Chain A
Amino acid sequence: MLYLVLAIIALAIAAFFVGQHRAMSIVDGAVSQLHSRPGQHGLFLALVSAGPALLALLAWGGFGPSIETALIKSQFAAELSELSIPQVEAFVRDARAIAFGGIVAFSDATKEAAAKAYQAVHSTGTIAVAILAVLIAITGFVFGYRRITAPFRARHIVERAVKWFLILCSLIAILTTLGIVLSLVFESIRFFQKVPVFSFLFGIHWSPQSAFEGAGAEASSVNALAFGAVPLFAGTFLITVLAMLVAAPIGLMSAIYLSDYASSRVRAVAKPMLEILAGVPTVVYGFFAALTVAPFFRRLGDGFGLDVASESALAAGIVMGIMIIPFVSSLSDDVINSVPQSLRDGSYALGATKSETIRRVILPAALPGIVSALMLAISRAIGETMIVVMAAGLAANLTINPLEAVTTVTVQIVTLLVGDQEFDSAKTLAAFALGLVLFCVTLAMNVAALRVVQKYREQYD
């Protein structure tokens, strides 16, 4: 199979040179008489000869094994009829293993026979496909070869193929979104059949553990009131606000300092430093938050006679803020730098100091960009998972006290899906519903950020 693919690729390369040569020889080396360049003729020939053949091989690669297996199963239907599904699977697997190598778990005469049949089917199939592929390739080659003439527009065909490929690639983004939406929506709908949307979005009591009347085996009816997600939203909001309280001023001020004040030496050190901060994986921040920052705040709180929960929103929020600093600063940096020098010069000419210029001229001019940067940072904070999984608690408290433990949407998604929950219950489905909410909220934030930039951005150039 591999050789066949390689052969066809070799054919494609050969076809390229043949096509090139053919095009040249048609016009006796007078390239200018060709409509398309010889290389394009070559590519055209390579495409028509190898493309369909490769597609055929691809199809066989995908469907071949199952076709083979189906054939074998029908051939041995009598022997297999009494076996259970895994035994049949084992039969097929062992037969394949005997036939094509691999670890054979258990062998017997029937399997040996099946393996023989497998080999036969496989070799027949492979030969058939090989012949088919070669035929297709040759037909394509001949067809293409005869098309090559001086006025033949090979370029258009090749370029159209390239363009279609490019379009296909950009459609993957749409497919991804579609995939996300569909996978979230289906499960969410099943959830909302059990729990009304209203009590999910506006309920203020989140305790999936008490969602079932009775415990363990008797668990049956769903108590919709236990799925009020407001405490989760509040917790997410609280942690996000704390993160932004850290990230927004520090990020913005660093951006300003680095773009307008810092000497190039400072910049050369500080910029990579911020980039390192941005590149640190979130699981590392989580480790840091849980083991260093949270105990630190706790001790600090004890010193002041304050009562800080070990899982305080404060620790998670601040570490998340640290994580977002570089995000804010690099985005703001771009925006501040894009304010034209002429505005700065004008302000200086009026006698304004640097800080006045920044505060009165540059920031207002850059405001839309900064706002959108902050919005993107917020949506980042909302969706952040590992820090809160490791450092924030699971207590669904409805509070605005940052010293208490709160929980977030992402934490609940992880615990609901990876925890010891009962399966197929509203709890598992709730994770998808929360995912949907998360997706919608971040989507809204991003669209809003985009709108802000589009609507208020001033074009200076």
Chain B
Amino acid sequence: MILVFAAVAVWIGAWAFNGWLANGRFSDLASVRLAVPLIFGATVIVVWELIVRGLQVPPVILPPPSTIVGAFFGNFGVLWPDFVQTFAKGALGGYVIGCGSALLTAILVDRYDFLRRGLLPVGNFMAALPIVGTAPILVMWFGFDWQSKAAVVVVMVFFPMLVNTVAGLRDTSAMQRDLMRTYGASYWQTLFKLRFPAALPFIFNGLKIATTLALIGAIVAEFFGSPTRGLGFRISTSVGTLALDMVWAVIVVAALTGTAFYGAVAWLERRMTFWHPSQRK
């Protein structure tokens, strides 16, 4: 019971400290802006640990963070091949193929107005559908290994990417297009010198949405069948044996991967669209 009181005390204390930081004189410092969420995150973990131990919550329901960290490092040898299987092969492979083909399709669609008016509403419609549902079909077609996961990812990322790119390629002003005409520029010159750079912010928006979708697709597809490795496979088998610490360790891996993947794309975006008003400092 003492631990529970300690948890309450920690919560109140940390919240008060954060309140002081956030409303104080230094609240606009970059270090404070970073510290406040980190303190909050750490508080949640500490409170979680104290409550689980204090109330003696059975580990099959909610293991304490310390156990999860232990499982993460203790099973590193298992988790690494899982990560390679799901992320490096399935998610990344599908991401590259899906986004690449969507980009090329977008250029084609953009060139023919009829295609654009037909495909864009269909693409918007498809982007809202529960496409994960195609996972069992694609697993049936492409087998249990990473190829089927990549296929699911391709289908999932294709339409959001297509819709964003097509919208971006149209995002030029009449004046900018007239300028290219006064130079007597060809279609491809206009595409590469004007429309493609102008579309980059939209393309990156699509790429960022696609990062999360790619991981979801790759993991969920493994629920429908996989070789004996992969993050989705690990989750479903560990859930089956109620090894919840392992499940949480996998979730930590998935969370870190997702954030890092997104962060990498966002970093690239900063590098390549530094000129866009939303990116300027």
The judgment on whether A and B are partners is no
